[in-house]
Amino acid sequence: MKFTINWLKNHLETSASDEEICDVLTNIGLELEEFEDVSKQYEAFKVALIESAEKHPDADKLKICTVKTENSTTQVVCGAPNARAGMKGIFAPDKTYIPGLEITLKKTKIRGIESNGMMVSEREMCLSDEHEGIIEVEDKYEIGTAMADIYGFNDKIIEIGLTPNRADCAGVRGIARDLAAAGLGKLKPQDESPVAGTFKSPIDVKIEDSKGCPLFYGRLIKNIKNVPSPDWLQNMLKSVGLRPISALVDITNLMTMDQARPLHVYDADKIKGNIIVKATKAGEKLDALDDKSYESVENMVGITDDSGLIGFGGIIGGTSTCCDDDTVNLFVESAYFDPMRIARAGRDANIQSDARYRFERGVDPEFTLAGMDIATRLILEICGTDNTEISEIVKAGDEPEYKRTIKFNTDFTKKLCGVEVERAQQIQILENLGFEVVDNGDLLSVSPPSWRGDIEGQADLVEEVIRIYGFDKIEPVSVRGDKSVTSPAETQKLCQARSARAAMAAAGLSECVTWSFMPKSLAKHFGSNDNAALTLCNPISSELDQMRPSILPNLIEAASRNADKGFSDVDLCEVGPVFRSAKPDGQNYIAAGLRAGKKTPRHWASDQVERNVDAYDVKEDAMKVLQACGAPAGNAQISNDASEYYHPGRSGVLRLGKNIIAQFGEIHPAILEEMGIKTPMAGFEIFIENIPAPRKKGTAKSLLQISQFQPLSRDFAFIVKDNISANEVIRAAKN
């Protein structure tokens, strides 16, 4: 949000310095982003007199001008057709930066004639697009008069960063209101009294979409003249980066920036029949005022007449009913639009505008009628003629209900912010901000003003009190404890997760951080039961619409992307959540690893046999991670009932009784084929939450008992049935 100091002082009576204003803005939550003294950019440009203008001997369109400045007389070669003796213009001396040309002047020769500086045009000074001639100033200005004084550029520009909840400060008056409440001055009154009409408007308004547009005021103004805006209005708009267009358009822009009240004006002679506000259908076309064409999406707020769509309510108007230099009769719109509808419509249609910026944040509903009256006075002042007539106001709909009462305990301020603010002072601050306060004894009944739609509860009221009272008055408290060292806050799960990361890194796996969601079509292969609760309603991408049931598919896709770039042998891991259901216990914490490609890369100096990764490689990884997490991996039983996304004959499950603590194996070839992956892959998953807590033992180690017998090695051979697993043989031998 940009504005100038002088613009602010139109609403705020204050003797505060520029620095004080900037400091208070930041202190009350309207953070200062930039402060610029515009006059410094133009300080080198001053009025000069052309004493003579002779034709250049070697160029028909150039003139050799003798220019008298405040300090001396110099020579300038000028190509402007309006340059003549006795004319006063704006002179730029040598070494001056010209903003419109983005160059710095230097003394030079033009067709053999020396030129020192230049006489500038409006386009070269970014005043307008006019460049056919140099700027001509009135004779009343003395030589040496600063250009900034003539064009009102001796002002300072402030830019603040607005949070989305402060729609009231998207206008200069709202900022002045906040500064006055902070004690920096007094808010000046403004005339919001009704402007009486003399006839009934022949253009009526009907609302069919009352949810999108609860309230619409309209007024017909006859016999006006759409003249160029006065200098004061043009300078205000230029100071905030807006290009003056015509008086009618400039007035609506002024109301938007000054009062945070977007309006729209129609050429009444171009409106066919009456205005109807209704929800749009998809595909309706609008040639908009930003010289672009748009197609409506479903359920936008459409402004229509008998010819069809003439504007998107609260966002942008159409060219079919726009005002131009020939406009004589106009219809003024001041309406209130639902913020949610405007935000969604603007996003879906990808339209950015100053009106949308304010309506989607929530403008003041009570100011809808007063905004119409203020705009009417401006139109009469600037565009009015002796024959101008004003109609009575047309009203459609009703003012949306915004009034609410919040029960507020002033002791809550200290509880929330740790600072003591007197009860009477809190009441005074809230009243200065426009809140209605009724003291009921223990509790206050506080009613927020119409322009503060963001105030919903006690915490919001505390924020209002403390930002005006001063965040700098909150006593800083050290976060260091004065007592003994506290016990570590790390839980067993986090401790095991950290240990798992370290173990996987030691095993040569590179840690990844992938999305917690994946394509629904892929999730079904990895344990998702097509649970609607795990499907995202508003995914960041149409391909990432399901919460992940396993980390492995994301690692597989990451390995595949590496393979596509020529790195087929990768070892990846990740520790994070997976999701089984939307219930509180439907989320598990998993440490997963994936090996892809060759276990031993080809190398001319290696005597190892090249081979692909297999189930035994990831089994070894799983055992190392379990040991690092404190699990009795050596006591784990192995079974072949791993999940279906593993190879049925080359996978296994590690369990302690019925408690599954890990599973491992080669990824099922059918899944790899469906994902378009030709590289062999094997993975493992450690269920961290299933690992039992380590038993508490004493700190003293038992004495080492060394056998008195010499070690002995012996080979045993057994004949067993085919259906006996290796795990059963190993467990029997250990027993």
| Tens digit of each residue's pLDDT (9 = 90 or more) over 451-480 | 999 999 999 999 999 999 998 888 887 777
Q: Is the dihedral of CA 314, 320, 326, 330 positive or negative?
A: negative
* Contacts for 23 with CB less than 8 Å, ≥ 6 apart: none
Cβ contact 158:21 at 8 Å: yes
Which tokens is 169 given?
A: 């400060």
Helix/strand/coil for 487:
coil
Decide if pLDDT at 357 tops 90: yes
CB 25 within 8 A of CB 128: no
Asked if the model's pLDDT at residue 239 lies above 90, the reply is no
What does the alpha-carbon distance between residue 312 and residue 288 come to, in Å, rounded to a whole number?
Answer: 9
pLDDT band at 673 (very low <50, low <70, confident <90, very high): very high
Is residue 468 within 8 Å of residue 508, measured between CB atoms?
no
Alpha-carbon torsion (9, 12, 13, 17), positive or negative: negative
Which pLDDT band, with edges at 50, 70 and 90, does 532 fall under? Answer: confident
Length of the chain equals 735
Continuous H helices in 102-246: 147-151, 172-181, 231-239
Distance CA 685, CA 671 (A): 17
Q: Are residues 668 and 530 in the same domain?
A: yes
How is residue 109 written in tokens?
Answer: 């020769």
| 711 domain residue, yes or no | no
Neighbours of 238 (CB within 10 A): 18
CATH number at residue 50: 2.40.50.140
- Pairing label, strands 103-104, 97-98: antiparallel
What sections of 339-366 are H helices per DSSP?
339-349, 354-359
Q: Indicate whether this model's pTM tops 0.75.
A: no
Distance CA 288, CA 291 (A): 6
Give the CATH number of the domain where residue 179 resides: 3.30.56.10
What's the confidence (pLDDT) of residue 483? 62
Q: Give the integer Cα–Cα distance in Å for 655 and 663.
A: 9
Mean pLDDT of 510-535: 84
Render pLDDT for 680-699 as a digit per residue (tens, 0 to 9): 999 999 999 999 887 766 55
Residue recorded with tokens 């009769």: 329
**Total domain count, the chain:** 5
Lowest mean pLDDT across 143-157, 222-236, 394-408: 143-157
User: In the prediction, which pLDDT does 666 show?
Assistant: 95
Q: Which residue has the higher pLDDT, 654 or 732?
A: 654
**Measured between alpha carbons, how far is 688 from 684 in angstroms, rounded to an integer?**
12
Residue with tokens 């300078």: 235
- Report for 588-597, 609-618, 636-645: range of highest mean pLDDT: 588-597
DSSP state of 54: E
pLDDT confidence bin for 540, thresholds 50/70/90: confident
Q: Please state, in angstroms and rounded to a whole number, the distance separating the CA atoms of residues 290 and 60.
A: 41
Give the pLDDT confidence score for residue 28 in this predicted structure: 92
Distance CA 214, CA 582 (A): 38
Q: Are 441 and 494 in contact (CB under 8 A)?
A: no
488 pLDDT higher than 70: no
Contacts (Cβ under 8 Å, ≥6 apart) of 180: 12, 186, 187, 432
Is 253 a domain residue? yes
Averaged pLDDT for residues 345-358: 93
Decide: residue 668, CB within 10 A, 0-12 exposed, 13-18 middle, 19+ buried: buried
Find the helix or strand (DSSP H, E) in which 638 lies.
strand 637-639
Beta-bridge partners for 216: 335, 396
* 696 assigned to some structural domain: no
How is 570-587 classified by DSSP, letter by letter? Answer: EEEEEEEEEES-SSTT-E
556-576 pLDDT, tens digit per residue, is 999 999 999 989 899 999 999
Average pLDDT of the residues in 294-303: 93
Would you say residue 502 has pLDDT above 70? yes
Flag whether 161 is in a domain: yes
Cβ contacts of 24 within 8 Å, gap of 6 or more? 16, 179, 182, 184
Same domain, 441 and 537: no
Give the CATH number of the domain where residue 560 resides. Answer: 3.30.930.10
Residues 311/286, Cβ–Cβ less than 8 Å: yes
In a shared domain, residues 448 and 361: no
Contact between residue 622 and residue 661 where contact means Cβ atoms under 8 Å apart: no
Domain edge (last residue) among 397, 428, 457: 397
Asked whether residue 257 falls in the same domain as residue 331, the answer is: yes
| Confidence label for 257 from pLDDT (cuts 50, 70 and 90) | very high
Rg of the chain on CA atoms, in Å: 38
Query: Residues 214, 339: contact at Cβ < 8 Å?
Result: no
Nearest one of 372, 14, 371 to 176, comparing CA atoms: 14
Are residue 443 and residue 420 in the same domain, yes or no? yes
Q: Is the dihedral of CA 37, 42, 43, 46 positive or negative?
A: negative
Identity of the residue numbered 62: L
CA-nearest of 568, 497, 582 to 532 is 582
Q: Region 308-315: what's the mean pLDDT?
A: 94
Please state the rounded mean pLDDT for residues 423-450: 93
Asked if residue 550 and residue 624 are part of one domain, the reply reads yes
d(CA 13, CA 465): 23
End-to-end CA distance of the chain: 78
Give yes or no for residue 305 having a pLDDT over 90. yes
For residue 128, pLDDT over 80 is answered with: no
- Quote the CA–CA distance of 96 and 120 in Å, as a whole number: 11
Q: Is 64 helix (H, G, I), strand (E, B) or coil?
A: strand
Tell me if 715 is assigned to some domain. no
Same domain? For 256 and 178 the reply is no
DSSP assignment of 364-389 equals -TTHHHHHHHHHHHHHHHHH--TT-E
Q: Examine the pLDDT at 529 and tell me if it is beyond 70.
A: no
Q: Which residue has the higher pLDDT, 127 or 253?
A: 253
Residue with the larger pLDDT of the pair 479 and 616? 616
Task: Give the pLDDT of residue 560.
Answer: 93
712, part of any domain? no
- pLDDT at 700 > cutoff 90: no
What mean pLDDT comes out for the span 305-334? 94
**Which of 97, 121, 145 corresponds to the end of one domain?**
145
Q: Where are the alpha helices (DSSP H) in 388-451?
A: 411-417, 423-432
Same domain? For 308 and 427 the reply is no
Mean pLDDT for the stretch of residues 642-646: 93
pLDDT reading at 606 higher than 80: no
Find the mean pLDDT for residues 367-373: 95
Q: How much is the pLDDT for 471?
A: 87
CA distance 42 to 37: 10
Tokens of 97: 């930066």
485 lies in a domain? no
| Same-domain pairing of 71 and 161 | no
pLDDT range class, residue 406, cuts 50, 70, 90: very high
User: Is 390 in the same domain as 415?
Assistant: no
At residue 464, φ and ψ (nearest 5 deg) are -65, -45
More confident residue, 43 or 256: 256
Q: What is the mean pLDDT of the chain?
A: 90
Q: What is residue 443's predicted lDDT score, i.e. its pLDDT? A: 92
Domain residues for the domain of 108 are 44-145
Clarify whether residues 556 and 571 are in a common domain.
Answer: yes
Please state the φ and ψ torsions of residue 378, each to the nearest 5 degrees: -65, -40
Nearest to 257 by CA among 29, 450, 8, 31: 8
Together in a domain, 173 and 306 = no
Where residue 601 falls among pLDDT bands split at 50, 70, 90?
low
Sheet harboring 46-55: ordered strands across? 73-78, 63-68, 46-55, 88-92, 118-119
**DSSP-derived 3-state class of residue 505:** helix
In this structure, are residues 336 and 368 in contact, taking their beta carbons and an 8 Å threshold?
yes
Q: What pLDDT band is residue 530 in, cutting at 50, 70 and 90?
A: low
Note the pLDDT of residue 707: 85
Q: What is the DSSP letter of 509?
A: P
| Residue 88, strand partner residues | 49
Residue 438: predicted pLDDT: 94
Q: Is the pLDDT of residue 492 over 90?
A: no
Domain containing residue 315: CATH number: 3.50.40.10
The last residue of a domain, from among 397, 423, 450:
397
Q: What is the helix, strand, coil percentage profile of the chain, to 5?
A: 30, 25, 45
CA pair distance 222, 267, nearest whole angstrom: 10
In angstroms, rounded to a whole number, what is the distance separating the alpha carbons of residues 677 and 656?
34
Q: Is residue 314 part of a domain?
A: yes
